Structure 1
Amino acid sequence: MEKKRILLIASFDASLIRFRGDFIKSLVDDGFEVFAAAPDFADEFKEKIKNLGATPIEFNLQRTGLNPFKDFKSILELKSIIKDKKIDIVFPYTVKPVIYGSMAANMCKVPVISLITGLGYAFTGLSTKAKVLQRFNEVLYKLSIRKNKVIVFQNKDDYQLFLDRKVISKKQKVDFVSGSGVNLNEFTFKEKNATDKVSFLLVARLIKEKGIALYMEAAKILKAKYPQSEFHLIGMTETSPSAIDEIEINDLHDKGILIFHGPQSNIPEHLNNRDIFVLPSYYREGLPRTTLEACACGNPIITTDSVGCRESVKEGVNGFLIKPQSLEALIKPMEYFITNPDKIKEMGINSRKYAEERFDVNIINSDLIKIIREQL
């Protein structure tokens, strides 16, 4: 029997490996011929895609901002890829790939299953420009995904927002998955032992909406009060309007308040070497991959009671949910762990159990493949 051809569309190459690598391998193992498209495809990631048994394809996409001419060219380019490769089904994720990938597939009368992985800056920005962008994106979403076979959400909040703003109707077929999942064999559990040197870790893009500035302020206050405690930060600098100035980060690093590691590839090792994972995000998340990875490694979680983030915490069981954008709310659970280090082990064990129950990548990928198969 001829293999069905599926096209995954991403907004950047690294995400195909970091967030979809296991999914691509599962698709290949399930008998699909997989094509993975991304802009500015680095040779390193092309090779990794090939090693998974898939075919990398580069296309042009302006990741941020609006340029109608360039965006229309992206749609036409994706349309050409779909036709040339005789694609049977399209699977885009993140904002622009979902919108433009859906439009291109609709032109070719090819079915689409779109994955809404969070609505990000386009739905959280408070500036006039951001609000205009929100309205524009709502219109584009409405035009592009109304013919999608299935729209898959990572949380109920985003689904409700799409209903409230009439981006989709209740008649449209939707489904839900618990994020992108986590590979429990790669992110292995390590029991945390109580010491007087409690360490915290935040892994995120270095933008304000991820709560980086808040974490830095908390580190200043707590380091002065508990000098033995450690505050670690991993992430890559950004060029977005809300990027954190790396000079500020390096200044805290030089003063011994913050330990800044820059971007890192060995995240499991860092999680296993730290006690508590912190993500004070007010970004409109799908279901943050980093919190799932921290759960798998046995880290208690401190994150916000906001869209997507709240899904990774059972309050008081494997961590704490805090009010977004509140320094006082962030400091309280951090100080709790510093003064009650015996709770770290207990909550860490609960984090791993939660990951096994809900976030196992094999279960999530199996659910996604079932959704895809039902539409072929």
Structure 2
Amino acid sequence: MEHKRKKILIICNSSDTLMNFRGKLIESLVLQHELTVFCPLITRLEIRNSLLKLGVMIEENQLKPSKVSLFSDLNYLCELYRLIKRTRPDLVFPYAFKPVIYGTLVAKYCGVKRITPMLTGLGYNFSMDNPAKKWWSIVTRMLLKLALRSDSALRVIFQNKDDLKLLMHKHIIGKGTAAFVVNGSGVDLNYYQYSRPSPGPVGFLMISRLINAKGIREYYEAAKQMKALFPEMRFKLIGADNDNVDAIDRSLYQALKSGEVLEYYGAVTDVRPYIKDAAVVVLPSYYGEGIPRSLMEAMAMGRAIITCDHVGCKETLNHGDLPSARFSNGILIPIKDTAALVAAMTHFRRHPEDIISFGINGRILAKEKFDVNIINARMLHILQDA
């Protein structure tokens, strides 16, 4: 089917994810449409060059996606308003929390004909336990309800069914709103290629920003217990330590950096060598995930996974002919349960054959459910269908 060439504005909260998470989708869209991205300052030259090479127009801002700043957010709203009035897009596609709220509200106000926000998880906004920060969750929910109020121009995309059900239950999204579910951002199976885990001591890897709800402390404590029992085992952690409302405390950060329990590498531009060097990838998250990118990448490369029975995370486990806590490609554990994480890690040390078989099954599931080409075909249909 041919589609009329449109002006599309993509709004996101991180320039680093543009090509890694949305690169294939952008490549497909730019073949038929005129694209502009509105994103925080691009610091990596290769990302800027890739976008420019594709013919994508770049507009940058100073958004702080994980920080509460009234002045910064108001300035962002004004910049967004001026951009939409100047470029007059036919379609606005915001993804991630702040861009979804602000992008949708401004696009509605400016009379944009098609607005397709995508919620890549709900973050802390429906699970914040800290009373001092709960007020922000309340404000955010009110703004989200206002943004997602039923409108003929609106189509909302979710990355798991639980988020859609929750927002309907909370009356934040109405039954009359056009809503769609896709299996995360997808993973490029040609880029994340299968490799058989190396024999030898079992190595574990966690890929995550250093925030509490991702389960950083649980991973650290489990690694500490495991190292005391099995000194030969290796535990690695990669991910940025950024300014976040839920950032880990500095004492834990210093413990990570010390290298006494695990190897912390900070943020990296290519996770593939680290996944290849690991036997099992761990994400003990109780964050409001969409579908965790790190687990999809691990599965694509043939790695067994350990993750929590929590929204988004549980979507990466495939049911097999195994006991209830075990699946054909990994082990599911309760949230905030270090003992269960230790038990899951111990299982893979005692049963190294599961590392191989679970990894193969994970690759198969990635092909069936998380292939970026399958997901992007659905995304293009949602975005382009008039």
* Smaller-chain TM-score bracket: over 0.9
Using the alignment, how far apart are the partners of 1:255 and 1:294 within structure 2?
24
State the alpha-carbon separation in 1 of the partners of residues 252 and 330 from structure 2.
Answer: 29
The aligned runs of 1:309-348 (5 Å cut-off) are 309-314=313-318, 315-348=326-359
- How far the C-alpha of 1:254 sits from its partner, in A, is 4.1
The answer as to 2:212 corresponding to 1:211 is: no
Q: Select the residue among 340, 350, 357 that pairs with 2:361.
A: 350
The aligned counterpart of 2:40 is 39
Q: Relative to 1, partners in 2 of residues 1:258 and 1:246: Cα closer, same or farther, differing over 3 Å?
A: farther
* 1:298-309 correspondence to structure 2 within 5 Å: 298-309=302-313
Instruction: Give the whole-Å Cα distance in 2 for the aligned partners of 1:175 and 1:129.
Output: 34
Change (3 A) 1:271 1:43: closer
Shift of 1:185: 0.6
Q: Distance in 2 between matches of 1:255 and 1:206?
A: 16
Q: Which residue of 1 aligns with 2:322?
A: none
Separation (CA, whole Å) in 2 of partners of 1:208 and 1:66: 17
Correspondences of 1:1-376 after superposition (within 5 Å):
3-29=5-31, 31-42=32-43, 44=45, 45-110=47-112, 111-146=114-149, 147=151, 148-195=153-200, 197-245=201-249, 248-251=252-255, 254=258, 256-314=260-318, 315-375=326-386
State which drifts further: 244-253 or 186-195.
244-253
Deviates more, 1:216-225 or 1:60-69: 60-69
* TM-aligned CA deviation for residue 229 of structure 1: 0.9
The separation in 2 between residues aligned to 1:59 and 1:263, in whole angstroms, is: 22
Structure 1 residues 43 and 237, CA, compared in 2 at 3 Å: closer, same or farther? closer
Gaps of 5+ in 2: 319-325
Output the TM-score relative to the length of structure 2: 0.92
Rounded Cα–Cα distance in structure 2 between residues aligned with 1:99 and 1:273? 39
What SS does the aligned partner of 1:123 have? Answer: coil
Identity of aligned residues (%): 37
Q: In 2, Cα distance between the equivalents of 1:201 and 1:166?
A: 39
Residues 277 and 114 from structure 1, CA distance in 2 versus in 1: closer, same or farther, beyond 3 angstroms? Answer: same
TM-score by length of 1: 0.94
Unaligned residue ranges in structure 1 (runs of 5+): none
Name which of structure 1's ranges 243-252 and 168-177 shifts more when overlaid on structure 2. 243-252
CA distance in 1, matches of 2:80, 2:259: 49
CA–CA separation in structure 1 for the residues paired with 2:78 and 2:15: 20
* 1:145-165 Cα shifts (integer Å, max 9, x gaps): 223521000011111111111
Aligned-pair CA distance for 1:366: 1.0
Give 1:278 shift. 0.1
